């Protein structure tokens, strides 16, 4: 039996409360200049690093080293707010869905493709508008807060680079080196800045986790494999820049008295289970959540057993719990992000695909112009709650579509047995992910007593591809 995965994706979206189709008409600019007041930085050798197939590019980077060794780092974020007025039909659709949805067979964009993959995308050789976050990174990885700036600029991405190529080059494969000497120098400097930032974050207790994600590999409309997405040095570089920029913008708005939407991860409620898992590796963690102690344990396990580290990371991530968006007034105490070990954190670096980032960008523009915020506290509170709810729904959609692809791929393997790890437990359901191939499903037989992180042997007993159902039986 054959299945139309695009139609399945649309059905899954609708069932989860998403609108798969939004308005395509882009509001005319008229006499309005969206780049009024923007600084011209087009001649700087900006570059981006992303997936080879990505077209909705949100970030570009440039850096210089100053006389005292401080690195001045500029991060350009696509200026979506310049083209999407608050309250416009496009904005209303974006607020409804709050995120782009990646189903493996089709991307359902939060914004019209004419915007997210063209006019606001920081494409190679395209002249675009961007909001710049300027950070000065000291030798010790601290950012000089009083020098942080956020302002609009005209930019040009001189090179769209790919994670796998840059990662291999940074790890020593000179055959992957960029052709331009200027670009080589820039990437070396970006790498140095992010190594400083990462070292500082780890000293503050940030967790170095490495989760892997399986995505379907399709050929002629059929799923032929499940491919694992591993982190590499280039992905770490971009991640470190995003964390630094998100922290810098949060502090920037707080210092200027603006309310904002923060991204918060509370101390984990399932800390006792994390303690139990660490004890199984010979490590005693404190009875109360302690990110420093957990960070030391995680780092030690990365060194001791690198091949098994992704499975341990997955377990820790599941037990840490999901993040949420919350209203943060400038005078409120910081609630922080447990896993990143930072007090001030928001999402600001992906306005093409996350509504919370677009809202933040509008507030940043108001701060730059010294205007009042375009959002009241009540509006921000409502948006934060809605973004959290929709993010959870989006994660469920994307998990379901991975399961649809996995169920199609696994159907011919019914009756076979596999090694697996328990990834989730609820009152009446237990879930496991196979180590190879990385398919996830429900343990429907002999699941009693299992908990997140347990290693088990399971037998594939049934699949229902159209619904993404995969059923395992635990092998005693």
Q: How far apart are CA 467 and CA 393, in angstroms?
A: 16
Q: Is the dihedral of CA 142, 147, 149, 153 positive or negative?
A: negative
Is 406:465 a contact under the CB 8 Å cutoff? no
Confidence at residue 71, expressed as pLDDT on a 0 to 100 scale: 98
Tell me what pLDDT residue 212 has: 67
pLDDT at site 227: 72
Least confident of 25-34, 101-110, 326-335: 25-34
Helix (H, G, I), strand (E, B) or coil at 310: helix
**Res. 23: pLDDT tops 90:** no
Phi, psi values for residue 309, rounded to 5°: -70, -35
Mean pLDDT of the chain: 93
Residue 2 has pLDDT above 90, yes or no: no
3-state secondary structure of 321: coil
pLDDT over threshold 70, residue 1: no
Distances (CA, A) of 374 to 26, 125, 205, 370: 21, 33, 35, 12
pLDDT at 384: 98
State percent of the chain over pLDDT 70: 97
Query: Which residue, chain included where needed, has tokens 């607020």?
Result: 95
Would you say residue 318 has pLDDT above 80?
Answer: yes
Q: Of 201-205, 226-230, 310-314, which one has max mean pLDDT?
A: 201-205
> Do the beta carbons of residue 76 and residue 122 sit within 8 Å?
yes
CA-to-CA distance for 46 and 43, rounded, in angstroms? 8
Distances 8 to 202, 402, 470 between C-alpha atoms, Å:
42, 12, 16
**56-68 pLDDT, tens per residue?**
999 999 999 999 9
Residues pairing with 455 in the sheet: 421
Under 8 Å CB-to-CB from 179, ≥6 apart: which residues? Answer: none
Q: Angle at Cα 351 formed by Cα 112 and Cα 137, nearest 5°?
A: 150
Percent of the chain with pLDDT over 90: 78
Q: pLDDT tens for residues 444-476?
A: 999 999 999 899 999 999 999 988 999 999 998
151 pLDDT higher than 90 = yes
pLDDT reported for residue 163: 96
**Residues 360-394: pLDDT tens digits?**
999 999 999 999 999 999 999 999 999 999 999 99
Q: How confident is the model at residue 30 (pLDDT cuts 50, 70, 90)?
A: low
Q: How many residues does the chain have?
A: 476
pLDDT tens for 272-295 read 999 999 999 999 999 999 999 999
Q: Are 316 and 274 in contact (CB under 8 A)?
A: yes
- Locus of tokens 């882009």: 26
Sorting pLDDT into bands at 50, 70 and 90, what band is 160? very high
| Confidence class for position 220, pLDDT limits 50, 70, 90 | low
Whether 433 contacts 467, CB under 8 Å: no
- Is it the case that residue 211 has pLDDT exceeding 80? no
The pLDDT, as a whole number, for residue 222 is 67
More confident residue, 402 or 91: 91
pLDDT at 154: 98
Domains detected in the chain: 5-265+322-404 (no CATH), 271-320 (no CATH), 414-474 (2.40.50.140)
pTM of the model: 0.90
Of 436 and 383, the structure prediction assigns the larger pLDDT to 383
Lowest mean pLDDT among 100-114, 142-156, 216-230, 310-324: 216-230
DSSP code, position 265? B
CA distance 13 to 393: 9
Mean pLDDT of 237-257: 96
In the block, which residue shows the tokens 């603006």? 258
pLDDT tier at 17 (50, 70, 90 boundaries)?
Answer: very high
The residue written with tokens 């169920």 in the block is: 407
pLDDT of residue 26: 79
Band (104; pLDDT cuts 50, 70, 90): confident
Roughly how many angstroms between the first and final C-alpha of the chain, as a whole number?
33
């Amino acid at each position: 039996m054959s299945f139309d995965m695009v139609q399945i994706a649309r059905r899954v979206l609708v069932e989860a409360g998403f609108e798969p189709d939004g308005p395509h008409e882009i509001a005319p600019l008229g006499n309005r200049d969206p780049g009024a007041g923007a600084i011209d930085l087009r001649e700087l050798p900006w570059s981006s690093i992303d997936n080879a197939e990505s077209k909705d590019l949100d970030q570009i980077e440039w850096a210089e080293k100053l006389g005292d060794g401080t690195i001045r780092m500029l991060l350009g974020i696509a200026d979506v707010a310049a083209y999407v007025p608050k309250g416009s039909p496009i904005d209303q659709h974006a607020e409804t869905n709050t995120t782009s949805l990646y189903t493996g067979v089709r991307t359902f964009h939060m914004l019209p493709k004419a915007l997210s993959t063209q006019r606001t995308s920081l494409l190679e050789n395209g002249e675009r508008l961007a909001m710049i976050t300027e950070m000065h990174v000291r030798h010790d990885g601290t950012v000089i807060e009083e020098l942080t700036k956020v302002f609009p600029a005209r930019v040009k991405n001189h090179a769209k680079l790919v994670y796998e190529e840059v990662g291999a080059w940074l790890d020593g494969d000179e055959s992957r080196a960029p052709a331009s000497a200027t670009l080589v120098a820039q990437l070396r400097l970006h790498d140095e800045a992010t190594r400083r930032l990462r070292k500082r974050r780890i000293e503050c207790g940030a967790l170095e986790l490495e989760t892997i994600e399986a995505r379907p590999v399709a050929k002629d409309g059929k799923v032929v494999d499940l491919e694992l997405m591993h982190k590499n040095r280039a992905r770490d570089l971009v991640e470190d820049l995003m964390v630094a920029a998100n922290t810098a913008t949060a502090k920037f708005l707080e210092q200027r008295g603006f309310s904002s939407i923060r991204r918060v991860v509370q101390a984990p409620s399932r800390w006792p289970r994390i303690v139990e898992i660490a004890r199984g590796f010979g490590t005693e963690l404190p009875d109360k959540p302690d990110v420093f102690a957990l960070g030391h344990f995680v780092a030690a396990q990365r060194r001791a057993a690198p091949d098994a580290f992704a499975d341990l990371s997955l377990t820790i991530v599941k037990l840490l719990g999901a993040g949420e968006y919350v209203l943060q007034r400038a005078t409120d105490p910081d609630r922080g992000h447990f896993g990143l070990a930072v007090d001030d954190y928001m999402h600001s670096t992906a306005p093409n695909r996350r509504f919370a980032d677009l809202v933040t960008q509008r507030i940043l523009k108001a701060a730059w112009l010294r205007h009042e915020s375009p959002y009241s506290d009540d509006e921000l509170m409502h948006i934060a709650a809605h973004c959290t709810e929709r993010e959870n729904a989006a994660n469920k959609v994307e998990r379901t579509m991975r399961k649809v692809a996995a169920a199609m791929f696994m159907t011919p393997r019914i009756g076979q047995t596999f090694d697996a790890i328990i990834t989730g437990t609820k009152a009446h359901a237990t879930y496991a992910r196979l180590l190879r191939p990385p398919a996830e499903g429900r343990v429907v037989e002999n699941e009693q007593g299992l908990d997140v992180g347990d290693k088990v042997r399971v037998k594939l007993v049934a699949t229902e591809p159209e619904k993404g159902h995969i059923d395992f039986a635990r092998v005693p």
